[in-house]
Amino acid sequence: MKILKSKLPKHNTAFVFQTHCSTPLIRKYFEQLLDQVEHMVDVYLLVDYSKFDHVFYKTLVDGISDDRYGVISYKLDDLFEPTYGYWDDNHKRRYNLTEIIPFLRFFEMFPNYDVLWRSEYDVFCNGDWADILNATKDSDAGYIATQVIDFNENDPYWKHWYKFHSDIPVEARVRSHNAVCRFTRPATDIMREAVTKHKGHYEVFPGSVLKACGVKIEDLGSTSTYTPTAMKGKLYDSETFGPFGNHFVAAEYTPEELKKDYLYHPVKVPKWAKWEPAYCYYVR
């Protein structure tokens, strides 16, 4: 990982907005996040340059004051160091832990932060991000994510339950979705020690390992058994948030037509619209 643009730390919490591409819609979501939380946390753009060069991100920040954000770049292949990844069949890098590794590295690179939030580029908040941070600021959970479920609460035949190489019994494993999530430094310290002992899908790794180590984990909202009472029924549900599908309607509808204060994911520009000027920087 490389620091493309540094930022003077003002808070003990950082918030990374992670993306591998640049569109006007993604910039809109980044600016919303920046406007709503920069008074509470330090905001960083976390860019994957596997398919882009080191300047592609500038379309996301042109015209925004430099002192408001930092920029960090990474390439997934570069993160497969001996202590963070492993080889599969001696010839193919396995897509394992790659979603988590940048956050472990972040805490190593920035020792002044105690807490790290992350949002993917395709998450839309139909409300105020600051309200979410305020609602969780007193939580002592080491890890907060969405759709946090135990093995027997959902489809027990999901293949990644069993492809997780670990001494944690499958019945004790936890699955979570990390499009929006929060880590504390102690939790990432534990995960860093665990990456060579527990190997498998990035939706199984954090919740399973941290719970097994006695770290408190929570669901950000909805109705999970891991959702705090005060957050029950809030922030998202199965109709607005998930790993699959496309909630592009969130980009097309007005806020009043959507669920107030809810998170929508994924919000991706479909093929039929990707060359429309409103959704592409390269068409005018």
For residue range 37-91, list pLDDT tens digits in order. 999 999 999 998 776 655 578 889 999 999 999 999 887 666 655 455 544 443 3
**3-state SS class at 103:** helix
Instruction: Taking the CA atoms of 259, 261, 266 and 272 in sequence, report the sign of the dihedral they define.
Output: positive
Task: Write the single-letter amino acid at 47.
Answer: V
Please write the tens of the pLDDT for every residue from 82-115.
455 544 443 344 445 567 888 999 999 999 999 9
Calculate the dihedral angle through the C-alpha atoms of 65, 70, 75, 80, rounding to the nearest 10 degrees. 180
Please give the DSSP secondary-structure letter assigned to residue 241: B
Residue 103: alpha-carbon gap to chain centroid = 9
Residue 81: per-residue pLDDT:
54
**Two structure tokens written together for 171:** 């019945």
On the question of pLDDT at 219 being above 60, the answer is yes
Say what the pLDDT of residue 41 is: 98
Instruction: Say if residues 165 and 128 touch (Cβ distance below 8 Å).
Output: no
Distance CA 6, CA 150 (A): 39
Question: What average pLDDT does the structure give for the chain?
Answer: 87
Contact 68, 44 (CB under 8 A): no
Q: Evaluate whether 124 touches 264 at the Cβ level (below 8 Å).
A: yes
Q: Rounded distance, CA 277 to CA 269, Å?
A: 12
pLDDT in tens, 4-37: 889 999 999 999 999 988 889 999 999 999 999 9
For residue 87, what pLDDT is reported? 46
Amino acid (one-letter) located at 15: F
* Cα–Cα distance for residue pair 130/124, rounded to 1 Å: 14
Contact 15, 259 (CB under 8 A): no
CB 206 within 8 A of CB 200: no
Distance CA 188, CA 115 (A): 10
Q: What is the pTM of this model?
A: 0.91
